[in-house]
Amino acid sequence: MKFATQLSTLLMTLVGSTIAFADVAAEVEASNTEFEKAFNSGDAAGVARRYTEDAVLLPPGMPNVVGRDDIEAMWQGFMDSGAQELELKAESVDAYGEAAVETGSFSLSAPGADGDLTPMSGKYLVVWRQDGEGAWRMHQDIWNDDPVE
């Protein structure tokens, strides 16, 4: 009986961990879908709501962008430049209690040096945090670009 109890506890712990992991990964995927929808319809406020209030962006070729308001302005400027058709693809999600780390790849179309819409792609890493209401939001967001083809 003791062994059976231990086994049962172990199985419940494993199942619990797996459910917790699946929950975070599913929340991340759901938020990414909302991010894509907001971005591709020009809704910068909707994009910004995916971030924590004090989130930090670390974009290539420009200084860090700190806080949801400045993040909204940054994405608004990027949309205004003509960027569109964003797709996000999560490739790994690691849960660490109140935080989670996602890596993935993105693609979009944006005006190139000649002004023509050009396909672009790259990799990203996002640190997610769960807020007091249980919602997972992006807290740190860094990416870099693949070579232009």
52 touching its own copies, by CB under 8 A: no
Residue from the set 9, 13, 64, 81 that interacts with its own copies by CB under 8 A: 64
Nearest Cα residue to 138 out of 19, 20, 34: 34
> How many angstroms separate the Cα of 89 from the Cα of each of 11, 26, 67, 77, 106?
31, 13, 24, 23, 6
Closer residue to its own copies in complex, CB, 53/98:
98
Q: Report residue 125 CA to chain centroid gap.
A: 8
Residue from the set 56, 71, 108, 138 that interacts with its own copies by CB under 8 A: 56
Q: DSSP assignment of 94-106, as one string?
A: EEETTEEEEEEEE
Closer residue to its own copies in complex, CB, 32/130:
130
Backbone angles phi, psi at 90, to 5 degrees: -65, 135
Binding-site string for its own copies from residue 8 to residue 47, where x marks contact by CB under 8 A and - marks none: ----------------------------------------
66 touching its own copies, by CB under 8 A: no
Please report, as residue ranges, which positions from 86 to 145 form the binding site for its own copies (by CB under 8 A). 94, 96-99, 101, 103, 123-125, 127, 140, 142-145
Residue 136, SS3 per DSSP: strand
Rg (CA), the chain: 18
Binding site for its own copies (CB under 8 A): 56, 58-62, 64, 94, 96-99, 101, 103, 123-125, 127, 140, 142-147
